[in-house]
Structure 1
Amino acid sequence: MGNSELVSSRFKGRKKALCIGINYFGQPKELRSCINDAEHVRAFLIQYYDFKYEDIVILADDRENPRQQPTRRNIIDAMYWLVKDARPNDSLFFQYSGHGGQIKDLDGDEVDGMHEVIYPVDFRNRGHIVDDEMHRIMVKSLPPGCRLTCCHSGTILDLPYIYSPNGRLQSEKITLQAERLKAAPADVISFSACEDGQKSVDTFKRGLAVGVMSYAFIKSLTKNPNQTYQHLLSDLRNISYPKYTQKAQLSSSHPIDTRWKFAI
């Protein structure tokens, strides 16, 4: 699969975003920063990338409206909303801040033998959401030339192509089965907070709890919006590692030239 699909993404179509923040109030391992992350990312997209308030959905567990709670059902419904009627040149954005984890891979498409999962607020009763399901909904359904940019912890969209800090493709992390099953013509780019198996952490900035990944992503692009994918990945790593002992990752649905300018 070549790079022509990425070139055809002109970012002139509709912009939509889904931001999810789960603090797990009253549950074991309650978090502090995730709802703040979702709010900060929404404000960032509106201010710097011309997203409209009404085209951004936030699911967070401080909402009174049951439909805005980050339950398993609502998250899946919102994913379908995000990609509904997607067309070439549309720009979609997905952000998740909350607990994630790993389960054993039984279909052989993971190099490390583990699937990544996210935990909705009601996961104890309704279960987790596996990366394969998220990939099916939000990656495979998109047409060529449609951009989906993701910002989250772990490689939860199950994109097959992963890049090193120097911008080179890490071929050892791609199984032939993963390449066959997970590669897609849509223009999907994912920046994740850490390597699979690492823990994404909270920190405090200006008195507010924030996730390191969302903080680094917003800080880097606010400071320098005209940078390449390679430079952005390097900057995210410089901000988050080694102070926070996590290494940002870049992955994609098909091979890309990381020397191109980052765009949303």
Structure 2
Amino acid sequence: MAPSSITTTGGVRRSLHIAVDKYRHAGPFLPNLAGCENDIRAMRQLLTSRFGFEERNAVLLINEQATRQAITAAWHGLTEQTQAGDTVFIQYSGHGSQMRDVHGDEEDGMDETILPHDTRDPGRQVFDITDDEIKEWVDALLAKTDNVVLLFDCCHSASATRQVGAPTVPTRRADPDPRDPPPAAAGARSVDVVEHGPSGWFPPNERLVFMAGCRDNEESNEHRAPEGGRYGALTYFLMQSMQSAAADATFRDVFESVTAEVSSRYRQNPQIEGALDRPLFAREFSGQQPFFYVNRVDAANRLVEIGAGAAHGMRTGSQIALFRPRTRRFDKDSNRLTTATIVQVGGISSQARLPDDVDPNSVPLRARSVELVRNSGDQRLRVALTAEAGQEAVLAGLQDALPASGRLRITDEGEGADAQVLVQAQAISLIFPDGRLMMQPVPAQAPNLESDVQSRLEAVARFQNVLHIENPNSGLVNALEIRFERQAAAGANSGQTLAPQQGGQLVVREREPYLMRFTNRGATTVYVTVLALSADWRIHKLYPVLENDFPPLAPGKSHALRFDEGSLMTELPYVANEATDFFKFFVTSQPTDSPC
């Protein structure tokens, strides 16, 4: 039985569908395509039949209709019509490519583009539509509504193609446009290099959902459907997943099966960026509880690999619960597959052993895992509690509350401690063993005093655990070269290398611009996660920027992170006139969930 249509509430649902199979100036370097029109007609039908869109609010531009002028006018018209609370879906199927960047915002010097029907004309009057233009159009839409969904089933990398079967079949990628593009409009954009998501199209933006056919260095394939006809692989399997989705399914839920279907057939990883936990075509978020994916199942050894390691607080001996893919609430046993025991912990992944009576093949890839029982071991922060006379009641409250944390342990009398909690009439202070303040004291009259102190101590514990993660026996120990440079000026992509001071520290003044460059000096592709551990005990994920992002770093390739306004902190913590930030690099041979 086909699932019923999903109930829609509030606002008008509008869509723009663009497909170009036939190009006016087609030739060896701009071949015609097949399947793009199928993509958009099938998607429009699905949106109207199941998701509350109406044909009167849908615009289709196909082949000769999809000129540069027509696409621009249709997008601007859609923006003008859109009101607060509306839902907007925009779909493009056709060639993707590149052209020379004239704004200075692309690290590789090339803009990503989509190709209208009349582009690449001999008179050099019509050019591709660049990602810079599209970003401005998207920003204008987001000023009207925050429920915007984009689907681009094409690819644009200089090394990628969209292909079907044999190499002689046309692909959904055109060679970069060799012509000099029109000059940038005065004041149109900043010249700063912009950090893009894994698809390579846009900067990170949690106010929209963007889906792309593949990474910016992969092939985007066309799929021959069993029922006949060609479609983009992403579009075809996305529609299948949307058609069978539950009424409360999120974009993350839907895309999980899309990724599995496409990646199992092609060397292609569809990308989704932005508001992943938003229910399909709704403004409200789903309240997804935190979890980690099962990334590998070793049936022979009864092991599962999860995307959580020491950086996430995982410990050998801890118990985890495994749930079906797409599970969002983990307090219902009916959704639980089984439990497992952590037997080996790496930096950002762990191995867990399944019970003897559980079939390993019953645990699918992308199953979701949560920690059930933590084995604290010796990793807990040792906390000494002391109080001034008259503060016994507050002390007793802390003695009752803190042992409930799996990250903390109250010390016995005379035992060494990692942190001291001093209870005074005016405030509660957290103190290093040498007597220095760890952070600003907590006012004695603060609400939820015990939980506030506990959360601060847990932040210290997690900070120290992550800081001390090491894997000296890894074959990737020397794979990454890391260099810090003082920018010649804010926004610069190079500068003078910072020389370590005595003790190995690199010193910069507050708000002084600098950049961090890391290069793969190994022989194989690696995946890098960078964490910043700041002096206020916070841990930030600097790279990759997006949750679902696993960008590969090929041998000899580099990536730079810029700090145009200096350090991560806007001001130094508490009363210090200097502070130390730490950067922690995790280098793996396979993509894995990041620690933050």
Into which bin does the TM-score normalised by the smaller protein fall?
A: 0.7 to 0.9
| Counterpart residue number, 2:53 | 51
Higher strand share: 2
| Counterpart residue number, 2:139 | 139
Find out whether 1:121 has 2:117 as its counterpart. Answer: yes
Find out whether 1:84 has 2:80 as its counterpart. Answer: yes
Find out whether 1:263 has 2:281 as its counterpart. Answer: yes
Verify the 8 A CA contact 1:154 1:196 in the aligned structure 2: no
Tell me the alpha carbon deviations over residues 138-162 of structure 1, each in whole angstroms, 9 at most, x when there is no partner.
3234326431111113589xxxxxx
C-alpha distance in structure 2 between counterparts of 1:197 and 1:241, whole Å: 15
Sort the Cα spacing of 1:99 and 1:93 in 2 relative to 1 into closer, same or farther, 3 A. Answer: same
Q: Which moved more, 1:52-61 or 1:196-205?
A: 196-205
C-alpha distance in structure 1 between counterparts of 2:279 and 2:74, whole Å: 29
C-alpha distance in structure 2 between counterparts of 1:155 and 1:251, whole Å: 16
Q: 1:251 aligns with which of 252, 273, 288?
A: 273
Find out whether 1:218 has 2:220 as its counterpart. Answer: no
Find out whether 1:229 has 2:225 as its counterpart. Answer: no
| Counterpart residue number, 2:230 | 209
C-alpha distance in structure 2 between counterparts of 1:42 and 1:209, whole Å: 16
> Secondary structure at 2:18's aligned position in 1?
strand
What letter is aligned with 1:15?
R
C-alpha distance in structure 2 between counterparts of 1:250 and 1:204, whole Å: 23
The count of aligned residue pairs is: 225
Sort the Cα spacing of 1:183 and 1:247 in 2 relative to 1 into closer, same or farther, 3 A. Answer: closer
Verify the 8 A CA contact 1:11 1:91 in the aligned structure 2: no
TM-score between both structures, scaled by the size of structure 2: 0.35
Determine which structure has more spread, i.e. the larger CA radius of gyration. Answer: 2
Show structure 1 runs of 4+ deviating over 4 A.
Answer: 179-185
Q: 2:215 aligns with which of 195, 206, 210?
A: 195
Verify the 8 A CA contact 1:34 1:210 in the aligned structure 2: yes
Sort the Cα spacing of 1:55 and 1:113 in 2 relative to 1 into closer, same or farther, 3 A. Answer: same
Sort the Cα spacing of 1:47 and 1:115 in 2 relative to 1 into closer, same or farther, 3 A. Answer: same
Percent identity for Structure 1 against Structure 2 = 25
Tell me the alpha carbon deviations over residues 202-259 of structure 1, each in whole angstroms, 9 at most, x when there is no partner.
121111111111111111111114323322232221111141221111123xxx4x34
Following superposition, the deviation at residue 82 of structure 1 comes to 1.6
Unaligned runs of 5+ in 2: 1-7, 157-191, 197-201, 283-596
| Counterpart residue number, 1:19 | 17
Following superposition, the deviation at residue 25 of structure 1 comes to 5.6
C-alpha distance in structure 2 between counterparts of 1:152 and 1:32, whole Å: 16
Following superposition, the deviation at residue 77 of structure 1 comes to 0.7
C-alpha distance in structure 2 between counterparts of 1:247 and 1:129, whole Å: 24
**Structure with the greater relative contact order (CA < 8 A, sep ≥ 6): 1 or 2?**
1
C-alpha distance in structure 1 between counterparts of 2:34 and 2:113, whole Å: 20
Unaligned runs of 5+ in 1: 1-9, 157-175
C-alpha distance in structure 1 between counterparts of 2:193 and 2:107, whole Å: 10
Tell me the alpha carbon deviations over residues 180-213 of structure 1, each in whole angstroms, 9 at most, x when there is no partner.
995668x321111111232322121111111111
| Counterpart residue number, 1:168 | none
| Counterpart residue number, 1:70 | 66
Tell me the alpha carbon deviations over residues 32-62 of structure 1, each in whole angstroms, 9 at most, x when there is no partner.
100111101110110011111111010002x
What letter is aligned with 1:222?
Q
C-alpha distance in structure 2 between counterparts of 1:228 and 1:87, whole Å: 23
C-alpha distance in structure 1 between counterparts of 2:55 and 2:131, whole Å: 28
Following superposition, the deviation at residue 113 of structure 1 comes to 4.7
C-alpha distance in structure 1 between counterparts of 2:255 and 2:84, whole Å: 25
> Secondary structure at 1:139's aligned position in 2?
helix
Sort the Cα spacing of 1:117 and 1:92 in 2 relative to 1 into closer, same or farther, 3 A. Answer: same
Sort the Cα spacing of 1:155 and 1:131 in 2 relative to 1 into closer, same or farther, 3 A. Answer: farther
Q: 1:178 aligns with which of 194, 202, 207?
A: 194
Q: Which moved more, 1:135-144 or 1:229-238?
A: 135-144
Following superposition, the deviation at residue 86 of structure 1 comes to 2.2
Q: 1:60 aligns with which of 53, 62, 67?
A: 62
Sort the Cα spacing of 1:35 and 1:211 in 2 relative to 1 into closer, same or farther, 3 A. Answer: same
Sort the Cα spacing of 1:34 and 1:132 in 2 relative to 1 into closer, same or farther, 3 A. Answer: same
Following superposition, the deviation at residue 179 of structure 1 comes to 6.6
Verify the 8 A CA contact 2:87 2:148 in the aligned structure 1: yes
C-alpha distance in structure 2 between counterparts of 1:212 and 1:102, whole Å: 22
What letter is aligned with 2:97?
G
Verify the 8 A CA contact 2:245 2:254 in the aligned structure 1: no
C-alpha distance in structure 2 between counterparts of 1:207 and 1:184, whole Å: 37
C-alpha distance in structure 2 between counterparts of 1:11 and 1:249, whole Å: 28
TM-score between both structures, scaled by the size of structure 1: 0.75
Verify the 8 A CA contact 2:113 2:129 in the aligned structure 1: yes
